[in-house]
C-alpha cells in the first residue's frame, strides 16, 4: 500500500499540468496563516467577551 502511494505521489510530482506541488504548498501555507491569524484575533475578542460575562455574573 505504501509503495502504491509513493508511486502515485512520484507520478503526480512529475506531471507539469496545472498547479505544481510547490504551488499547492504555498497555497496551504497561506491558508494556514489566514486561519491562525483569524483564530488569534477572534480568540482574544471571545476571551474578553467571556471574561465580561463571568465578571457580571459573579
Confidence of residue 7 (pLDDT cuts 50, 70, 90): confident
Does this model's pTM top 0.75? My answer is no
Give the up-direction half-sphere exposure of residue 21: CA atoms within 13 A in the CB hemisphere. 7
Position 19 scores a pLDDT of 65
pLDDT in tens, 17-58: 666 778 888 999 999 999 999 999 998 899 999 999 999 997
E strands, the chain, in order: none
Backbone φ and ψ of 15, nearest 5°: -70, 140
Gyration radius of the chain's alpha carbons: 21
End-to-end CA distance of the chain: 58
Give every CB contact of residue 35 below 8 A, 6+ residues apart in sequence.
none
Amino acid at each position: 500500500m505504501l509503495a502504491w502511494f509513493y508511486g502515485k505521489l512520484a507520478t503526480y510530482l512529475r506531471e507539469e499540468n496545472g498547479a505544481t506541488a510547490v504551488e499547492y504548498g504555498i497555497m496551504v501555507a497561506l491558508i494556514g496563516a489566514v486561519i491562525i491569524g483569524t483564530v488569534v484575533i477572534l480568540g482574544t475578542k471571545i476571551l474578553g467577551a467571556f471574561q465580561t460575562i463571568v465578571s457580571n455574573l459573579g
